[in-house]
Amino acid sequence: MAKDFVLAYAKMIVKYPEAVSIEVADMDEAAEEITVYADPADVGKLIGKEGRMINAIKTVISGCKAKHGKSYRVNVKANS
């Protein structure tokens, strides 16, 4: 659920939505790390001014913790 939201939201924000991909890695049984890969030109859009955009995404994802009991870490990286 969190993965699907982050993918859909990231594709709405960026200029090159076809370049967006998501990778999910289990950190332990109670936490997952969601890494968003985007075109290098779009990384700034996903992070936002002073990190406001990525913090907003993290805030929404933290609501999933209450429902599913898992913590999520969200990272943004440029495609190579």
Query: Which amino acid is it at 54?
Result: I
Name the band, by pLDDT with cuts 50, 70 and 90, for residue 68.
confident
Provide Rg for the chain, Cα atoms: 12
DSSP for 4-47, written as a single string = HHHHHHHHHHSS-GGG-EEEEEEEETTEEEEEEEE-TTTHHHHH
Enumerate domains of the chain plus CATH numbers: 2-78 (3.30.300.20)
pTM, full prediction? 0.87
- Kindly report, residue by residue over 14-62, the tens digit of the pLDDT: 999 999 999 999 988 888 999 999 999 999 999 999 999 999 999 988 8
Lateral strand order in the sheet of 71-78: 21-28, 31-38, 71-78
